[in-house]
Amino acid sequence: MSELANLQKYVDAYFNPDIRDGMRAQLRTDIEVRLLISNHTAMLLHDGGALIDYIERQNQIRVGYQRLFVPVYRPMLNQQAVKDCIKKSGLLKYWQNNEFPDFCHPVGEDDFECEGLVSE
């Protein structure tokens, strides 16, 4: 199957929540085979864990994590896998010592929340 045809299935899942879980399973397979569209399909499915997995597997840590702050990827910031990644990277400590992004704020001593985002 071509990557374009594969991408169409993910777009369909974006608009049809009933098939989204099945496509999340497909996304894990696509990440394993390093398909280039995996980061975009993680965004379409609002699957922060898959996006982090893709970034780490592609060894794109420096470039990849900045994707989280591009507006189309921001809905995943409240997902636990993404929060764990932000904490592990030291970014939460940086925010605490400097300044949080306009759309995020601290919650207690070791957590944060971002406004208007999906928390699936």
The model's pLDDT over 17-74, given as tens digits with 9 standing for 90+, comes to 898 888 888 877 776 665 555 667 777 788 888 888 877 777 655 556 777 777 877 8
Q: Residues 68, 103: contact at Cβ < 8 Å?
A: no
Q: What is the mean pLDDT of residues 8-21?
A: 84
Tell whether the model's pLDDT for residue 4 goes beyond 70: no
Phi-psi region of 10 (alpha: psi -120 to 50; beta: other; left: phi over 0): alpha
pLDDT for residue 106: 96
Tell me the percentage of the chain whose pLDDT exceeds 70.
77
Q: Residues 54, 24: contact at Cβ < 8 Å?
A: no
Q: Which pTM value belongs to this model? A: 0.65
Coil, strand or helix at 46: coil
Coil, strand or helix at 43: helix
